[in-house]
Structure 1
């Protein structure tokens, strides 16, 4: 593994091909334009369950699937902290949240952190970012950027640029792609390799699809997840007290798209006071919206008097999935536009393309929406990578990888030495068939944003391929253990099961070793708790 820390494709070639002098000289003498281009595509809150390369139950995503079909599909990819801005900080820095300082959406990002785009830019890469960064209005290390302020808007969004703010009419997923392709066509320097971050707002809450897809998807019905009515009976207070239940905590207005007038007429008390997210629609757009969602409101008025908790949960789940998946349909279309451009311009063969999300998401599993927990649906994230002539097409990889690994991977791809303080591992050995040198047997997770929205308690833990152990702390002291092979839906906490006593001992010891490896500690836990007070 030590050699791969050096971040040199020359060294990798020497190890895997052998000492063929002509090939070695050719590698050394490559011009900068022969270094691979890098396109990093990331959506926001895109559950792996909503990509057909993983699961065909809910949606067909042929263009995202192309990346897996032409490359590699990771089935054990995860995040270190399942919340938007911290995940992005981990990706940029290659360091866990407790090291880079961006532990939650509320804390500031320390701009003294060195990010991999800065390093690539200094190494001769042309760099650009378009779409949703989520934090910071002036990202370092980019020759050009056009980013959404904060969460941004789905319709007629504002973008922050080096030349000032601008509002662009249209749908955000299409616009982000238009900006990306415009840069590639008109301002990309063909004499330089490029690193492009193409970042979608969708499918983040409040899940507002384009007109094309809300007309289509509001007519669909989706199968219910097995754990929609989970009772959390083997778990402690953390799962039971979280405020992300579809029945109680999902807004009928903001999330399910009922009008305030409908909710008032039916005299429904709302847990969430979130109002409509449609304030950027112009009159013409609003009329088209009302033509589709107006009848949904009228239908709900007829149904509501006979609904009980179960039937209301199912109704809210269907409305949620219709809009959530509708936004993803547009993401898939637009990913196809970018992939088509690479093929048409003969750029594909020398470009590594990554598709991922900043974390997973609950699509009704355990009765939830949102993310945050270390349970599988939010911990596991989609990861699909294609790299022609390096990755054998159609490979599925089950090794445990994380968003922590992207920075070092991209630096090695570019032939650049990674800083010693980065904490991930380059994925290049896995991508290029040298799996024997990969030796990670556990991944680490730590969530901090409590007390805060959704009330998910602070917790940390590790996952191996076989087990997952979680410690909830701060105002509780609770442990959970899951047998990932025999209980993949994670409904049975076996921390107190005598049959797992040795596993508990072993996993707790491994957890402490992993915390030490990544320089996390109880002292840091309390430091970040006190920072909230």
Structure 2
């Protein structure tokens, strides 16, 4: 290896592990498929948590949620803990570190100011000239807007670099009209429409553009570590044209089993689906119920939802291709470790469930993980149980530095380079706050090559499963 490698982490949000071309012929991801052919992919990687904020904090820190303290959405990552993650560690070792896109290390949907740049009630305090530091990243450009039907920031000027840029494209009323408008009449699919927002204005396009801009202007005397984070295909499923029309809903396969069949599931499945979020503020309670639950959809509605979901993934893949082309154009591809993964999965109607929740099914638990770079074996598929928790120690290993703290993840480098290392198990945990669905849960999941088991610690109930049968 001629020098310390650059590190490029690219993530999507809420992307199923079977929504890549190499696992699903109905999904078009040629650029990510190319990464897998030229490198290594893991077929049994799991997330440390089934929702965004804890999972992302675990990627950054290499720690499980109850260790880094973000055990559910709505809890801010302590900056002192975040700065000890891989970005801060590499920055102190001489790397130039950058973050572009959705961070979600801190709560954004709150009506009270929290003082972080991601909070929609206080982020406007960070003026347009602010570009970090944040959680160990020296350069930061954030996308905060998204995941809700109403895009309006709580304060003016808009919060986030993407939001400021978007609202500079046209008068405010026109931006919001385009965001909400659909190019084609819908079929009543929940949180689904063909966005009238020009694709050039979409967050996926902006994030790729800003990542490429940073690569071109970086300090060439130092290796870099950049995290590029796309907010899609998280709901709402509002893909812009032409990508929203890439998939014909009539040709999209639907899940074979759409029965909820809650009677054979542990008690908390039904409790979380029927409970009322315990929130004092009625507005936040209504918002939580609206954005986190989807009623059962007809076949036609689910097909349109899925087609838009696939379109969002293909748009991300297109922009991943743009970034990879920039690496090639600037002579960086040979000495850059490129990793693609996501924070957690999506139910997408399987088992009659939608979005995400405290349901440790493979739809949510398993995530795609692909790596390409110097020394990484080509065309390798690894079935050992690993975790996105392993990324932070892997990055430190490739950079030749020791992690600041005792990490709970373990470096993947030996496996990536063709070693015979095996793994016994990977872990996921979630202390579900009653504000989410009206019930408090303490869930622990362990997954081996052959089995998976989840225990709810307070009640002592669980759900073991064999991975040799059709995984559930």
TM-score, L = length of structure 1? 0.68
Q: Distance in 2 between matches of 1:193 and 1:353?
A: 14
Tell me the CA shift for residue 232 of structure 1.
3.7
Deviation at 1:165, TM superposition (A): 7.2
Q: Does 1:489 align with 2:471?
A: yes
**Match among 335, 354, 372 for residue 386 of structure 1:** 372
- How far does residue 239 in structure 1 lie from its aligned partner after superposition? 2.6
Match of 2:96 among 118, 123, 126: 126
Q: Does 1:194 align with 2:224?
A: yes
Structure 1 residues 216-295: aligned runs within 5 Å? 216-217=246-247, 219-243=249-273, 273=290
> SS of the residue aligned with 2:321?
helix
Per-residue deviation, 1:274: 5.7
Q: Is 1:324 aligned with 2:322? A: no
Shift of the 166–382 alpha-carbon distance from structure 1 to 2, 3 Å rule, reads same
Partner of 1:149 in structure 2? 144
Q: 8 Å contact 2:89–2:404 — kept in the other structure?
A: no
In structure 2, C-alpha distance between the alignment counterparts of 1:156 and 1:191, rounded to whole Å: 41
| Separation of aligned partners in 2, 1:153 and 1:238 | 26
How far off its partner does 1:152 sit? 6.7
TM-score (norm 2): 0.77
Partner of 1:460: 444
Map residues 316-395 of structure 1 onto 2, 5 A cutoff.
Answer: 316-372=301-357, 373-388=359-374, 390-395=375-380
User: 1:134–1:148: 8 Å Cα contact kept in structure 2?
Assistant: no
Q: CA–CA distance in 1 between the matches of 2:7 and 2:152? A: 29
Give the drift of 1:219. 4.9
Residue deviations 1:440-476, cap 9 Å, x none?
Answer: 30122211223243568441121111111111244x4
Backbone CA RMSD of aligned residues = 2.8
Please report how far the alpha carbon of residue 141 of structure 1 lies from its aligned counterpart in structure 2 after TM superposition: 2.0
Q: Quick check: 2:249–2:303 contact (8 Å CA) kept in 1?
A: no
Q: How does 1:174-193 map to 2 (within 5 A)?
A: 174-185=205-216, 187-193=217-223
Q: 2:423 aligns with which of 428, 440, 451?
A: 440
- Per the alignment, residue 479 of structure 1 pairs with 462
Residue 151 of structure 1, CA deviation: 4.7
Q: In the alignment, what sits opposite 1:8?
A: none
1:213-256 Cα offsets, whole Å, 9 max, x none, are: 22344655311212212424432322334439xxxxxxxxxxxx
Does structure 2 retain, via aligned residues, the 8 Å contact 1:156–1:172? Answer: no
| One of 74, 77, 88 as aligned partner of 2:56 | 88
Q: Give the match's secondary structure for 2:252.
A: coil
Query: Do the aligned residues in 1 keep the contact of 2:260 with 2:353 (CA within 8 Å)?
Result: no
Once the two structures are superposed, the pairs formed by residues 425-436 of structure 1 within 5 Å of their partners are 425-435=410-420
Gaps of 5+ in 2: 107-116, 118-131, 170-200, 275-287
The 3-state SS of whatever aligns with 1:46 is coil
CA apart distance, 1:365: 1.4
Q: Structure 1 segments of 4 or more deviating over 4 A? A: 150-159, 271-275, 454-457
When Rg is computed on C-alpha atoms for both structures, the one with the higher figure is 1
Shift of residue 419, structure 1, vs aligned partner: 2.9
For residue 190 of structure 2, what is the aligned residue in structure 1? none
Alignment coverage as a number of residue pairs: 392
